[in-house]
Structure 1
Amino acid sequence: MPSKIAFAASRAPVAQAAHATLTQRYGNAPLAEADVIVALGGDGFMLQTLHDTLELLAPVYGMNCGTIGFMMNAYAEDELVERLTAAEEAVINPLSMRATHTDGRQSRALALNEVALLRAGPQAAKLQITVDGRLRMQELVCDGALVATPAGSTAYNYSAHGPILPIGADVLALTAMAAFRPRRWRGALLPKTAKVRFDVLEPEKRPVMADADGTSYRDVASVEIQSEPSISHRILFDPGHGLEERLISEQFT
């Protein structure tokens, strides 16, 4: 049973009101001392909280004070300690991204959902795709492409008509957005151990930006992406409402 709960809330008024109510009722431990962290907001804030608390040992339990709340539990003020005690844990490994910019700079980031490459100008992007050192596609003309984890497969990936992946699958989804050549190419399923490299063709004429869970990096020349098994995020869900169940349910709605 968790004795120290730390609350974090998005800036949305409904989340701030929930934060005030819950901290008054259950207290609010410092993040570094907490047994569990309760995130109040939507999926975007949940991702932010997971990134911000990466170095801490406490798992994160989200309560939905946002819109969709795919990664969140239902909001309720009563019996929170009992819910946290009974919660089921899901462990997620993020993607690591290394982007090389057109001026030679490098940027690194982690992403729980996906790393996406997006055209940043009026013309379609031209991308070359290499997997594990082997050239797989000489030229993909598209609005963009992304690599998604199973946890992120129902987010941007699904909107781009990518596949929903079971949470325990050792698979990554590589999905194209509005592919023009090859016509309507949807992408590929790759082993979780795969190292994916995108090289931007004609980057000055067709600028491309990289995006890792909502953080953008402009003017990239190449991007390397792979799963990072050495890093684990712990997320708590109410029994029967974990990520695996949500991923299955999403396919029947």
Structure 2
Amino acid sequence: MISKKIHFAIDTNVKADTSQKALLKRYKNYLPNQSDVMVVIGGDGFMLKTLKKYQKYNKPFYGMNRGTFGFLMNKYKSKNIEKFISRAKTISISVLEMHANTINNVKKTAIAINEISLLRQGRQAASLQISNGKKIVIKKLISDGVLVSTPAGSTAYNLSVHGPILSLDSKKLAITPISPFRPRRWKGKIVPSSSLIKIKNLNKIKRPISVVADNVEVRNINNVKIRINNDMKFKLLYDPNNSLNKKIKLEQSMRR
């Protein structure tokens, strides 16, 4: 087995913190740029933050769950980590990129691994127009909001608002309404991953909205463009019996 130089990214929650002392006694914690692999210890939220933080190093990420659900993570282990990493299967995932314009013409860009959500900012429901390129998907949606989900994120917030579960190899994105009021029966739309999705706030003064890319929020939005950034990919490592593909297929089987 080839020795791996590991950088440990450890969350500050209680479970992760208690793991830190034992691990760092057993393993050297290399600097990110000197490492072969990033071992992320925490929950799904911490994994998403860590992926973005260390994206520039182009390293594979092996997550170990010390959070709540840990859908993006492997089971925690304190010994033989190098052995598990050497046996792990690699899954490459693309990210969503958003370009948002505020009502004050401030431009913001952010990426998301799971989903990008547009949400009502106050007590009034959002009024949105959604397009795919030049084609209007829905002329006017009155709802609490809408989200655009990747396959990797389709079992997260998207599933909670009754969106479709997408296979990792589907090359699709899900556009899913959040508590739609009009049209009440609109269930959303599955579109190709090559789509350029445009979402416009039809009443930005009376019905302000915010946009959230995983954990980055921009408020008072005028319009947003969302697409897959094919130049940016993350390599996630999974134990053979605990792959992200298997987890997604399990969620799909539970819905039938």
What TM-score range do you get, normalising by the shorter chain? over 0.9
Structure 2: gaps (5+ residues): none
State the SS of the aligned residue for 1:229: strand
Contact 1:8 1:19 (8 Å CA) reproduced: no
- Normalising by structure 1, report the TM-score: 0.98
Amino acid at match of 1:63: M
Kindly state the Cα deviation for residue 97 of structure 1 after the two structures are TM-superposed. 0.2
1:98 matches 2:99: yes
Q: How large is the Cα RMSD of the aligned pairs?
A: 0.9
Give the deviation of 1:136 after TM superposition. 2.3
Aligned position for 1:238? 239
**Counterparts of 2:168 and 2:136 in 1: how far apart (Å)?**
28
For 1:85, the equivalent position in structure 2 comes to 86
Q: Is the 1:178–1:184 Cα contact (8 Å) retained in structure 2?
A: no
Q: Is the 8 A contact 1:2 1:84 kept in 2?
A: no
Q: Structure 1: any 5+ residue segments left out of the alignment?
A: none
8 Å CA contact retained: 1:115, 1:213: yes
Once the two structures are TM-superposed, the CA of residue 2 in structure 1 deviates from its matched residue by 4.4
Give 2:86's aligned amino acid. T
Partner in structure 1 of residue 118 of structure 2 = 117
Compute the displacement of 1:215 (Å): 1.3
- Mapped partners of 2:150, 2:90: distance in 1: 17
2:73 is matched with 72
Give, in whole Å, the separation in 2 of the partners of 1:20 and 1:71.
23
Task: Give the distance between the partners of 1:145 and 1:166, measured in 2 at CA.
Answer: 21
Give the stretch that moved more between structures: 60-69 or 18-27.
18-27
Q: Is the 8 A contact 1:173 1:189 kept in 2?
A: yes
- Residue 44 (1) aligns with residue 45 (2): yes
State yes or no: 1:34 paired with 2:35: yes
Q: Give the ranges of 4+ consecutive aligned residues of structure 1 lying more than 6 Å apart after TM superposition.
A: none
Describe the SS at the equivalent of 1:249: helix
Q: Any idea what the Cα deviations from partners look like across 1:46-67, whole Å, max 9, x if unmatched?
A: 0011001111121010000000
The CA deviation at 1:144 is 0.5
Offset of 1:3 from its aligned partner? Answer: 2.2
In the TM superposition, what is the alpha-carbon distance from 1:70 to its structure 2 partner? Answer: 0.1
Shift of 1:137: 1.5
Q: Which amino acid aligns with 2:107?
A: Q
- Match in the other structure for 1:20: 21
Partner of 2:54: 53
Q: CA deviation at 1:7?
A: 0.2
* Equivalent residue number for residue 146 of structure 2: 145
Task: Quote the Cα distance in structure 2 between the aligned partners of 1:199 and 1:86.
Answer: 46
Within 1, Cα distance between the matches of 2:24 and 2:61? Answer: 16
8 Å contact kept, 1:98–1:107: yes
Identity of aligned residues (%): 39
Looking at structure 1, the residues matched to 32 and 3 of structure 2 have their Cα atoms a distance apart, in angstroms, of: 13
Give the aligned partner of residue 107 of structure 1.
108
How many pairs were matched up? Answer: 253
Cα displacement (A) at 1:250: 1.5
